[in-house]
Structure 1
Amino acid sequence: MLRTSRYLWRTKRLSRNPLGLRRIHSHNGLTGLLRNDYFSDLLPSKSEKYLNELPCCSIYMGVDPSADSLQLGNLVPLMGLLRCHLLGYEIIAVVSLFFVSSNVYFCEPEIGTGTAMVGDPSGRLTKRTMQSSNQFEVNTKGIENDLKTIFQNYWEQFYPRIKNSEPPQSIRTLQNIDWLGKFSCLEFIDHVALHFRVPELLEKERQVLLSIYVCEQLFNIYNVRLRLESGNGMDLGEFLYPALQAADFLHLYENYNCRVQVGLTVPLLTTQDGTKFGKSSSSSEIGSTKLWLSKSKLLPYSFYQQILNFPDSMVSAKLLRQLTFFTPERIDNLMKVHANSSHSRPVQRSVAQELTLLVHGVDGLQSSELATRIFFPRGQSTDGQTKRTAIDAINEDLNSAERNYLMECLHPSSGLLPVIHAGLPLGQHAVGEWFRQVLLQTTDVHSGSIINLKACMHKGISLNDVVLFKPSNVTSTDGRFTEPDVFADSALIDRISTAIQRRDSATGLSVLKIGKHDHWFLVTRTS
């Protein structure tokens, strides 16, 4: 009876405030996200009632600046956070200079610059490799730029199509060094550390929950005993890491009315062997390229292609829930289409489109899809006898507007597509050295990868579909790979000259291919 009266009073009070009424409905939305596996757990357990009775509040996520760019794995909690924003919550991203962000809780996005300087020990049997303060500053700036770009794309491309009538709530990006950096050692001990009991930190069975209430919320912790039993030990800074997290949460609660944090409660994005993406382990890779979100580390085209080439073993409704804003109905439909025509990659393509738009914006997506049409043309050539080439696609498939747009995307300042700018060789004698210099540029423009010339030749190289080097199992010490003699070979020079003549006459474009999947546009027109 008391509960009903309280609910009626709140409803009457909020009925005069449309925003408040919308938020009371949004509590069911959070519960719906939990029940539909957008969040894998709720801490403390059996607290859906607490979740449903939350007052108007903000929600945050911590981000760990251990690198100068976010990775694909970071998108999982970030998508959870943005879903909370769609439900009408203010959200905060906190960049932790005292590493907070390897965990995700219901809260506003924060950059954990403060806690990053300590290093989150969660789930690790060894201490994190620490970086200099200057490197942390570089990392923090890079992550802030990533978040700024993602949030802007979310505002422009996603929020209007999903929530087109209600006034939006704010999105903040903070650094926890701004408040943790003000603590002296004695103040930290007096105001924070004394609230933590050593036996609770050591208790193996309580590896998930730490029963210290701060702002009415329980905290996730690491398993201290597991670390100690590994023989690697733990320093005092790592041991006190949960206290820094608690200080973060308390500050956000007191200053931003933050009561929920998104983090480990989000399902992990995993590779085929079950290891998680986007963290500090080397297993956070697909193929040979880490899925960085910054276009300075991974071109939008390469980002799109890496996702498009996810193996079928990764395709699941869980993946779609984790990485898209798709409705349950659309997810079900996509999974049915995939079951009947997996060869066309409907799920991978949809995820690639959704994430490239979110991470790199309209130009990132449009340029990636345009380049994909060119690099991987479908059908037969006009003579009906051979497969269509990339040059055929440029000549026959693109209208004038698409050609102009392609050339804009290939400008050196765009950073959208793999492109090499090189003038034409000055005479037949210069062809070999010209091509060697072209190949050297692939080490700079392709996804941050280091590819030496011998490795390129080993994979196989073609220019405008003229094969210059066939794929070979010959070792890199084989004599035919000796530089620079190989580029002085007359037969190779003739093939390169033939390939140059096949470039697109209207745009001056050539297409360089190394191996099966790596492509570059080669711009040779100077005007």
Structure 2
Amino acid sequence: MTDILDELQWRGLVAQTTDEAELRQALEDGPITVYCGFDPTAPSLHFGNLVQLIALRHLQRAGHRVIGLVGGSTGLVGDPRPSSERVLKSKEQTAADVERIAVQVRAILSDDSGNPPIFVNNLDWTAPISALDFLRDYGKHFRVNQMIKKDAVAARLNSDQGISYTEFSYQILQALDYLELYRQYGCTLQTGGQDQWGNLTAGVDLIGRVEGASVHVLTTPLLTDSSGEKFGKSAGNAVWLDPSMTSPYAFYQYWINVEDASVVKLLKVFTDRTRDEIVGLERQVAEEPFRRTAQRTLAADVTTLVHGPEATAAVQAASEALFGKGDIAALDRETLLDATAELPGGELSPGDTVVDALVSVGLVASRNEARRALKEGGASVNNAKVSDPEAVLGEQDFLHGRVVLLKRGRKSMAAGRMPEA
């Protein structure tokens, strides 16, 4: 498609714009420069940040220049939440998180098509500004009666806790970023989440007052499932992009388990699949939902984007192996541990009988039940059926010296784990 705004709208990546007609014209007349900021509120980006990075990728591929900003200064202050005050991290911790997040932003936005991104840290231009200069040169352009109307600020003002001046000033800092990027790079579009509308438009207002220029904002919608629950949570935790916080296997499984009612929407948002491809996958959801082809496509594409093709191949092999369609012994140590981490189980050691092992990991309620399962051919060790009630686990059964996979039937499985030395 030649109209990038139409493309973003079809993919469900547009919630609000400051002036759609003007923005559409600017994009058509482009290329323009667009930025999105990422604050180090955690050591890693998460599901919601990925939406912003993908929106930037689409704009980048359409020929526009993109800037990835990491908030070394805004991260020290904290974006006000509607619920409560953020706990401020130390400067050292913030700096460390900035470095980790910058790596992730670079990995997603890196491009070899001749349209490289720009990466910046807002601490570079904020740190040299004195408090007096900040108040005189920038604070004077903001009206408190307008600032308190911002959704998050208004919610906090109406709460018992209130809001600190530190967090209240956040929107000025973010507006300053837009002004600085407008001056340095001619940036005229900022993107962000729908819940950031107030902070984003503060920059539009500041540029209008200081430079007399008209610039734009585009927000992406909050993604929810068919019940209205926010996407991006897994077992109560955020889905992180850092593999040490959400393993590639758990990341892949999150996408595999997406409900049928939402998978087409997520394919549009998170993959580069064409309209024709997505229409075909939508048809398969309707006609053969049991194959979960759309979910497998979604999981593979997003895992490859975030973790690379080798990690995707490894977690796909692990998924197959857990259900007996591959060689579990062939999995590398890290993938094996990730794949079995969420399974129920318990500590086992070489020399334990298979009967006792089945009881210990909770696959059966008693030793007699375990013997019946073995006799009926319904138990396995590392996907190999075991029928001998006297069978004993050997050291070779503990893959990579750590884990043995036990099953009762085809789907009930557990992990026996060697005790830590």
Q: If the length of structure 1 is used for normalisation, what is the TM-score?
A: 0.61
Matches within 5 A, 1:42-81: 42-44=17-19, 47-52=22-27, 55-81=30-56
Give 1:173 shift. 2.3
SS of 1:138's partner is: helix
State how far apart, in whole Å, the 2-side matches of 1:508 and 1:144 are: 36
Q: Is the counterpart of residue 233 in structure 1 residue 179 in structure 2?
A: no
* 8 A contact 1:334–1:347 mirrored in 2: yes
Amino acid at match of 2:121: Q
CA-to-aligned-CA distance 1:123-144 (integer Å, 9 cap, x gap): x132222222222122212212
Q: Match for residue 136 of structure 2? A: 190
Q: Deviations over 1:366-402 (max 9, x none)?
A: 1111111211235xxxxxxxxxxxxxx329xxxxxxx
Change (3 A) 1:368 1:262: same
Go from structure 1 to structure 2 and tell me whether the alpha carbon gap of 1:520 and 1:114 turns closer, same or farther (over 3 Å shift): farther
- Taking a change above 3 Å as real, the CA distance of residues 231 and 510 of structure 1, as seen in their structure-2 partners, is closer
Name stretches of at least 5 consecutive residues in structure 1 with no aligned partner: 1-24, 94-109, 160-166, 208-221, 278-283, 379-392, 396-402, 420-441, 475-493
Q: Cα RMSD over matched residues?
A: 3.8
- 1:370 maps to which of 317, 323, 331: 317
- Whole-Å separation in 1 of the counterparts to 2:29 and 2:54: 21
Q: Who is 1:113 aligned against?
A: 72
CA drift at 1:361: 0.6
Q: Which residue of the other structure, out of 58, 73, 82, is the alignment partner of 1:83?
A: 58
Secondary structure, aligned partner of 2:290: helix
Check 1:91–1:73 CA distance in 2 against 1; reply closer, same or farther (3 A cut). same
- Unpaired stretches in structure 2, ≥5 consecutive residues: 194-218, 366-387
Tell me whether 1:276 sits opposite 2:209 in the alignment.
no
Q: Distance in 2 between matches of 1:130 and 1:514?
A: 47
The answer to whether the 8 Å contact 1:112/1:175 transfers is yes
CA gap 1:497/1:67 in 2 versus in 1, 3 angstroms: farther
With normalisation by structure 2, the TM-score equals: 0.74
Per-residue CA distance 1:423-453 (angstroms, 9 max, x = gap): xxxxxxxxxxxxxxxxxxx9xx976x8x9xx
Corresponding residue for residue 192 of structure 2? 263
Equivalent positions of 1:398-413 (< 5 A) are 406=330, 409-410=332-333
Structure 2 residue aligned with 1:149, among 104, 107, 111? 107
**Residue among 150, 167, 171 paired with 1:242:** 171
8 A Cα contact 1:31 1:51, kept in partner: no
Aligned with 1:170 (options 104, 112, 116): 116
What is the CA-CA distance between 1:272 and the residue it aligns to? 5.4
CA contact (8 A) 2:240 2:246 kept: yes
Give the letter aligned to residue 336 of structure 2: P
Distance 1:201 1:473, change over 3 A: farther
Match of 1:253 among 162, 171, 182: 182
SS in 1 for 2:221: coil
**1:234, distance to aligned residue in structure 2 (A):** 1.4
**Match of residue 423 from structure 1:** none
Return the alpha-carbon distance in structure 2 between the equivalents of residues 334 and 377 of structure 1. Answer: 26
Amino acid at match of 1:141: E
1:306-325, aligned counterparts within 5 Å? 306-315=254-263, 317-325=264-272
Alignment partners' CA distance in 1, 2:354 and 2:17: 55
Distance 1:113 1:345, change over 3 A: same
User: Structure 1 residue 178: deviation in Å?
Assistant: 1.0
CA distance in 2, matches of 1:229, 1:473: 54
1-structure distance, mates of 2:345, 2:395? 22
Q: Against the structure 1 CA distance between its residues 361 and 470, is the aligned structure 2 distance closer, same or farther, given a 3 Å change threshold?
A: closer
> 3-state SS of the aligned residue for 1:170?
coil
% identical aligned pairs = 28
* Match for residue 469 of structure 1 among 350, 360, 384: 360
What letter corresponds to residue 392 of structure 2 in structure 1? T
Q: Verify the 8 A CA contact 1:462 1:513 in the aligned structure 2.
A: no
Q: 1:359 aligns with which of 281, 298, 306?
A: 306
